[in-house]
Amino acid sequence: MVSRAELFAEVRRLAAVRDEETADFDANCILQDLLGEKNPMFSPKEPVPDEKAAEILALARKRSKGFPLQYLLGQWEFWGCNFKVGEGVLIPRPDTETLVEQVLDICRREGLTAPKIADLCSGSGCIAVALKKELPQADVYAVELSEKALGYLRQNTQLNGCGDIHIIEGDVLGRDTARSLTGLDILVSNPPYLTAQDMSELQTEVQHEPATALFGGEDGLDFYRAMTELWKSSIKSGGFIAYEFGMGQHDAVKAILEENGFTDVELRRDGGGIIRTAAAVNQNYAAITF
Ligand SMILES: C[S@@+](CC[C@H](N)C(=O)[O-])C[C@H]1O[C@@H](n2cnc3c(N)ncnc32)[C@H](O)[C@@H]1O
């Protein structure tokens, strides 16, 4: 039997094949998860049963080939909550917390304690769950099309005690879906936004994530154009829209919002200093114009 320290060294070596900078972190996460202990290296000499060591090394080998750590672990943290993840669903990113913060700031400023919110392209449900956790009286709807993502979305709402989030299986680009939700105080979305060029240059890890969660058309803006036009009538006059987007897309997204009758566009930077989100006020008066 190998000791924990020997196993750690081998897992670290394999993880470093992929990325030297994150090798310690990856090895720690894998050992913690598989040994079911928060600090497995407190007892470095403890032997690891052969079967368990083989299981851990198999994961480390997958990691060395660029399989995402988050999928290996089967869960990932966002907004202090745990989300089940695996192939077929986008891994929640820390950048997306900027979008959650912006929506919460709007709610605080406007005194919205029980807003009606729709999270379009909900994926794992990270945005919908974070908002419901912070605004327990909110009426939250999560719209998602992918069957696989919907499985995670259902699981994650339940696991995080947010079983009263309304999950809608639907196409956000479809008129019927937009028509089914009206009177929204806030529409929030982190839609697919990678360009054709981005898709041809994906990092190995990201290649394991579903293309339907990533690709936003030739210039990455297809969802912003279509959703803004289609959903503006579902948002109350004076209500808000809030989007996440990719680096360098802020001017184009701002223009799309303004062309569709939204004003007071507020752009925000993420933790890395990149302009990452926009929120704006709906000035359209026609409540439903389908
Ligand atoms: C960029 S991911 C965002 C997931 C999640 N909101 C997050 O921030 O981590 C986009 C999501 O949109 C979903 N999606 C793509 N096309 C869609 C459509 N036409 N209707 C509804 N959902 C769609 C994908 O399946 C994916 O889950």
In tens, the pLDDT along 199-253 reads 999 999 999 999 999 999 999 999 999 999 999 999 999 999 999 999 999 999 9
103 and 168 co-located in one domain: yes
Letter string b/e over residues 182-208, b meaning 16 or more CB atoms within 10 A of that residue's CB? bebbbbbbbbbbbbeebbeeeeebbeb
- Average the pLDDT over each of 36-40, 106-110, 181-185, 227-231 and give the range with the smallest value: 36-40
| DSSP secondary structure letter of residue 5 | H
Averaged pLDDT for residues 166-170: 98
Model confidence at 109: pLDDT above 70: yes
**109 and 226 assigned to the same domain:** yes
Query: What value does the mean pLDDT of the chain take?
Result: 96
Q: How far apart are CA 188 and CA 200, in angstroms?
A: 28
Residues 46 and 126 in one domain: no
Give the DSSP H/E element, type plus range, for residue 132. helix 126-134
Please give the pLDDT value at position 183: 96
pLDDT, greater one: 289 or 245: 245
**CA 142 remoteness from chain centre:** 12
Structural domain count of the chain: 2
In a domain, 102, yes or no: yes
Residue 10's H or E segment, with its range, is: helix 4-18
Which pTM value belongs to this model?
0.96
Domain boundary among 11, 32, 66: 66
Domain that holds residue 14: 2-66
Residue 290: predicted pLDDT: 47
* CATH code of 153's domain: 3.40.50.150
Q: Is 90 in the pocket of ligand 1 (CB under 6 A)?
A: yes
**Paired tokens of 108:** 């605080």
CA dihedral sign of residues 39, 152, 188, 196: positive
Task: Quickly state the pLDDT bin for 286 (edges 50, 70, 90).
Answer: low
Amino acid 282: pLDDT: 97
In a domain, 56, yes or no: yes
- The answer to whether residues 161 and 35 belong to one domain is no
Do 136 and 249 lie in one domain? The reply is: yes
Q: What is the pLDDT of residue 284?
A: 86
Q: Cα separation of 207 and 39, whole Å?
A: 31
Position 8 pLDDT exceeds 50 = yes
99 lines ligand 1 (CB under 6 A): no
Of ligand 1's listed atoms, the one at least distance from the Cα of 91 is 9
Among the atoms of ligand 1, which is closest to the Cα of residue 143? 21
- DSSP 8-state assignment for residue 121: S
pLDDT at 123: 98
Instruction: Name the residue with the closest Cα to ligand 1, atom 24.
Output: 213
76 within a domain of the structure (yes/no): no
Residues 7/24, Cβ–Cβ less than 8 Å: no
Residue 288 has pLDDT above 80, yes or no: no
Residue 80 lies in a domain: no
